[in-house]
């Protein structure tokens, strides 16, 4: 009881509106709220610095290192002048010392800054050096009048902020001052501890209040590191606890029991398999059969590189559902991929005469009504489609298995919506051709059991990958001609990035004309596919290539997923430096699907950035999707890689699942142990932790499934 009262007292001061803090007031309060979501004392407390700068270091203007991240100097301010009108209005000033001078410039809040600056006075200036017309300058510097009260602190925290806040005088120094004022109001005893004492002692973590004070104002490097470690630990532990609770929910969640392997499964296995299953496929099927027979809900992630044979496994799992009197569905993220799956599944089951329906947003009118009726009365046992399958209007008679392809394209909540399609939630099999590094899988898919198909079907040869510069274009084209002369086909892929779509579209069209010069019409047939085409024309062109009527397909990345042309042996990626590693690996997987030796040629400009050169080197050195995914994660970060930053699941303020993988491992073990001991977090020592988790799950997509 005493602890609960202490928590509520602490929360009352932390819940104070930010306007009530000295130095804020109504106008600044509104800005902090709209720009950074800082509404209360607590929000400011948890607005952590992202780096630190030694403010005792003063540079002379004449000795500025332009390569340095930030510089700090002291000098006299002169020539404060406004220029331009309206949106082009800006403010210039010059700072000089005995070694030289540098220009300071403000593009926003020019009038406000002009009123606050005093000419011929001495200032301390802090900022990032830029170069304009061969002259060094500092845009939007932090600037402070030098007087007897000026304190040049030691380790200065650098806070996340915005241009608008800086333009209104809320600089990095201002954040430090506001946070210092906050610690005058909020005592360390007001900051509640959320981790139980047993965990603090076992993992040697400082208490939470001390860590928060140190992260804002470290008095030593040792204290700074201890604070960062503790706060990262807390963040990762919270995510792992949420996952552990969901996982526990799965293990006790009643599931449908598939207790027999019947005619559909056996008939397909004995009579209709297009090739022998690999040992990896057999192992995964055994895992699925075991899961679905336990009477608990299956939640399994199936990872397998492009072409490893995941679709066959999914089809056999769907037949298992049918053998037990249930329906099954396969959900894909795009129309093209859904169409591809529909054709693959239909072809595999054609001779068994099993009805398969296709449901996407484009299926309308009478056809849609018929499909909805068939799903509701059970006459359609298998459905393939996009997220249209989880709309409320779609009702199944008895959905027993939901297969989700390329799960990272769907929100966590969408997976949960499938559960409601049956009174007893259906079994869920999630498939991805994007190998997921272990650290990311622990965070994004920690609630799922993982299966991996790590073997390619027999007869497949490893794809040879080479990197060539623009200067070798003629040799590359001659090589493609030689492959086409053998009766093979080739892809030529151009980048398409949303921000520069118009330019990319123009370069695609120019590239198409260039390809026609190398491969003259009459002698060669070329098809072109891109997102701006009418869907029917795009499908027609794609089919020309699939049927072998066109030897060359010029395309944007619409072919990244879903196209299966065993006769295609060359993948030429134009401007390969503009693609990410995972995308390049996906594109490479479009070839090598037949028995012939296949090639992937990465064509780039002659001059490459260090990062682009590194990507090309990785692609040439390995075809292992997991190795590539690990490298991609390390280079790009999880948010960029999987679009998960917006999902709320990976919104860590301090933790980084790549750099902090050792902490992640620790917190995973600690979370599983805690949930095993106290599944409902009902013990008194776990109440603060439970309260914190509830608050966090409200703010992220975890709440939809926890």
Q: The domain 53-158: what is its CATH number?
A: 2.40.50.140
User: Has residue 182 got a pLDDT over 70?
Assistant: yes
What secondary structure letter does DSSP report for 521?
B
The whole-number pLDDT of residue 497 equals 53
Mean pLDDT calculated for residue range 43-56: 84
Of 428-432, 562-566, 582-586, the one with minimum mean pLDDT is 562-566
The whole-number pLDDT of residue 643 equals 45
Q: The domain 464-622: what is its CATH number?
A: 3.40.50.300
CA–CA separation, 664 and 657 (whole Å): 7
Mean pLDDT calculated for residue range 253-260: 89
What's the 3-state SS for 254-282? ECCCCCCCCHHHHHHHHHHCCCCCCHHHH
Number of helices and strands in the chain (H, E): 25, 22
Contact by Cβ (8 Å): 402, 328: yes
Helices 335-349 and 310-323, interaxial angle, to 10°? 60
The whole-number pLDDT of residue 648 equals 45
Q: Where in the chain is the domain with CATH 1.10.150?
A: 1-50+161-192
For 281-320, write each residue's pLDDT tens digit: 999 999 999 999 998 889 898 988 777 888 899 999 999 9
CA–CA separation, 358 and 338 (whole Å): 8
CA–CA separation, 410 and 301 (whole Å): 14
- Between 469 and 23, where is the model more confident? 469
Mean pLDDT calculated for residue range 203-219: 93
The whole-number pLDDT of residue 426 equals 92
Mean pLDDT calculated for residue range 272-276: 86
Torsion over CA of 263, 269, 270 and 274, rounded to 10 degrees?
A: 140
DSSP H helices, 147-195, are: 163-167, 172-185
Torsion over CA of 587, 593, 594 and 598, rounded to 10 degrees?
A: 30
Residue 44: pLDDT band (50, 70, 90) is very high
Contact by Cβ (8 Å): 138, 123: no
Question: Which of the listed CATH numbers 1.10.3720.10, 3.40.50.300, 3.30.1060.10, 3.40.640.10 matches domain 263-453?
Answer: 3.40.50.300
Residue 650: pLDDT band (50, 70, 90) is low
For 288-315, b/e burial (b = at least 16 CB within 10 A) is: bbebbbeebbbbbbbbbbbbbbbbbbbb
DSSP H helices, 110-157, are: 110-116
459 Ramachandran zone, left/alpha/beta (phi>0; psi -120 to 50): left
CA–CA separation, 556 and 665 (whole Å): 40
The whole-number pLDDT of residue 334 equals 79
The whole-number pLDDT of residue 473 equals 93
Contact by Cβ (8 Å): 492, 550: no
For 618-648, write each residue's pLDDT tens digit: 999 998 887 888 888 777 766 554 444 434 4
Of 95-99, 136-140, 305-309, 312-316, the one with minimum mean pLDDT is 305-309
Mean pLDDT calculated for residue range 55-66: 80
Contact by Cβ (8 Å): 422, 615: no
The whole-number pLDDT of residue 563 equals 67
The whole-number pLDDT of residue 562 equals 53
Contact by Cβ (8 Å): 41, 18: yes
The whole-number pLDDT of residue 638 equals 60
- Between 340 and 123, where is the model more confident? 123
Q: Which structure tokens are listed for 478?
A: 């001659």
The whole-number pLDDT of residue 172 equals 75
Residue 76: pLDDT band (50, 70, 90) is very high
The whole-number pLDDT of residue 500 equals 54
Contact by Cβ (8 Å): 317, 288: yes
- CA torsion sign for 515, 521, 524, 526 is positive
CA–CA separation, 302 and 534 (whole Å): 34
Fold held by 1-50+161-192: DNA polymerase; domain 1 (1.10.150)
- Between 414 and 408, where is the model more confident? 414
The whole-number pLDDT of residue 702 equals 44
The whole-number pLDDT of residue 12 equals 80
Question: Would the pTM count as exceeding 0.75?
Answer: no
| Neighbouring-strand partners of residue 465 | 600
Residue 151: pLDDT band (50, 70, 90) is low
Mean pLDDT calculated for residue range 480-496: 92
CA–CA separation, 590 and 583 (whole Å): 11
- Between 147 and 553, where is the model more confident? 553
86 Ramachandran zone, left/alpha/beta (phi>0; psi -120 to 50): left
| Neighbouring-strand partners of residue 73 | 125
For 11-35, write each residue's pLDDT tens digit: 588 999 999 998 898 999 999 999 9
The whole-number pLDDT of residue 705 equals 37
Q: Where in the chain is the domain with CATH 3.40.50.300?
A: 263-453, 464-622
For 105-117, write each residue's pLDDT tens digit: 988 777 788 888 8
Do the bridges between strand 356-359 and strand 155-158 make them parallel or antiparallel, or are there none, so unpaired? unpaired
Q: How far is CA 461 from CA 465, 563, 600, 690, in A?
A: 12, 18, 13, 53
Strand 464-469's sheet: what is its strand order? Answer: 464-469, 599-604, 568-573, 489-493, 552-555, 526-529
């Amino acid at each position: 009881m005493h602890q609960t009262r202490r928590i509520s007292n602490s929360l009352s001061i932390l819940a104070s509106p930010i306007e009530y803090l000295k130095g804020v007031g109504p106008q600044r309060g509104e800005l902090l709220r709209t720009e950074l979501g800082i509404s209360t004392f607590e929000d400011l407390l948890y607005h952590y610095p992202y780096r630190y700068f030694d403010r005792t270091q003063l540079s002379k203007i004449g000795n500025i290192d332009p390569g340095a991240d930030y510089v700090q100097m002291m000098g006299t301010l002169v020539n404060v002048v406004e220029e331009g009108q309206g949106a082009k209005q800006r403010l210039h000033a010059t700072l000089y010392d005995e070694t030289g001078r540098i220009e300071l410039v403000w593009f926003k809040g020019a009038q406000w800054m002009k009123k606050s600056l005093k000419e011929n006075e001495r200032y301390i200036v802090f900022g990032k050096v830029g170069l304009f017309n061969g002259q060094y300058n500092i845009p939007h510097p932090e600037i402070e009048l030098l007087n007897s009260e000026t304190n040049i602190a030691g380790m200065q925290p650098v806070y996340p902020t915005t241009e608008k806040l800086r333009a209104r005088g809320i600089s990095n120094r201002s954040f430090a001052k506001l946070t210092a004022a906050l610690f005058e109001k909020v005592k360390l005893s007001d900051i509640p501890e959320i981790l139980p004492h047993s965990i603090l002692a076992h993992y040697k973590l400082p208490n939470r209040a001390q860590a928060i004070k140190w992260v804002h104002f470290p008095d030593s490097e040792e204290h700074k590191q201890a604070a960062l470690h503790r706060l990262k630990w807390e963040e990762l532990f919270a995510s792992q606890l949420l996952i552990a609770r969901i996982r526990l929910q799965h293990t006790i969640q009643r599931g449908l029991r598939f207790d027999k392997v019947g005619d559909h499964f056996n008939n397909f296995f004995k009579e209709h398999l297009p090739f022998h299953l690999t040992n990896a496929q057999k192992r995964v099927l055994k895992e699925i059969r075991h899961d679905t027979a336990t009477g608990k809900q299956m939640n399994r992630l199936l990872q397998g590189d492009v072409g490893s044979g995941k679709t066959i496994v999914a089809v056999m799992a769907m037949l298992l559902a049918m053998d037990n009197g249930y329906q099954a569905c396969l959900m894909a993220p795009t129309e093209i991929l859904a169409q591809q799956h529909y054709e693959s599944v239909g072809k595999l089951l054609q001779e068994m005469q099993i009805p398969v329906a296709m449901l996407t947003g484009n299926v309308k009118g009478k056809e849609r009504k018929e499909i909805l009726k068939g799903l509701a009365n059970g006459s359609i046992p298998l459905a393939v489609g996009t997220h249209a399958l989880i709309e409320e209007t779609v009702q199944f008679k008895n959905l027993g298995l939901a297969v989700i392809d390329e799960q990272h394209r769907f929100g966590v909540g969408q997976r949960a919506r499938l559960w409601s399609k049956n009174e007893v939630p259906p079994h869920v099999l999630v498939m991805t051709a994007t190998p997921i590094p272990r650290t990311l899988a622990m965070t994004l898919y920690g609630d799922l059991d993982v299966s991996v198909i790590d073997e390619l079907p027999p007869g497949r040869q490893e794809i040879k990958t080479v990197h060539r510069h623009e200067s070798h274009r003629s040799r590359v084209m001659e090589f493609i001609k030689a492959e086409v002369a053998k009766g093979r086909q080739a892809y030529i892929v151009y980048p398409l990035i949303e921000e520069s779509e118009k330019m990319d579209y123009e370069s695609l069209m120019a590239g198409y004309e260039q390809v026609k010069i190398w491969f003259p019409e009459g002698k060669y047939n070329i098809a072109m596919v891109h997102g701006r085409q009418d869907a029917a024309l795009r499908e027609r062109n794609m089919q020309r290539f699939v049927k072998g009527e066109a030897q060359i397909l010029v395309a944007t990345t619409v072919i990244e997923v879903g196209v299966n042309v065993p006769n295609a042996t060359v993948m030429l990626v134009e401007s390969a430096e503009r693609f990410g590693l995972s995308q390049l690996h996906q594109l490479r997987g479009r070839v090598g699907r037949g028995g012939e030796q296949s090639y992937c040629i990465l064509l780039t400009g002659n001059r490459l950035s260090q990062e682009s050169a590194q990507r090309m080197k990785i692609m040439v050195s390995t075809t292992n999707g997991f190795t590539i995914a690990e490298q991609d994660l390390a280079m790009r970060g999880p948010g960029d890689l999987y679009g998960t930053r917006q999902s709320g699941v990976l919104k860590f303020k301090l933790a980084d699942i790549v750099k902090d993988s050792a902490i992640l491992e620790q917190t995973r073990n600690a979370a599983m142990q805690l949930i095993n001991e106290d599944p409902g977090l009902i013990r008194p020592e776990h109440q603060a932790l439970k309260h914190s988790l509830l608050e966090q799950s409200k703010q992220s997509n975890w709440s939809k499934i926890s």
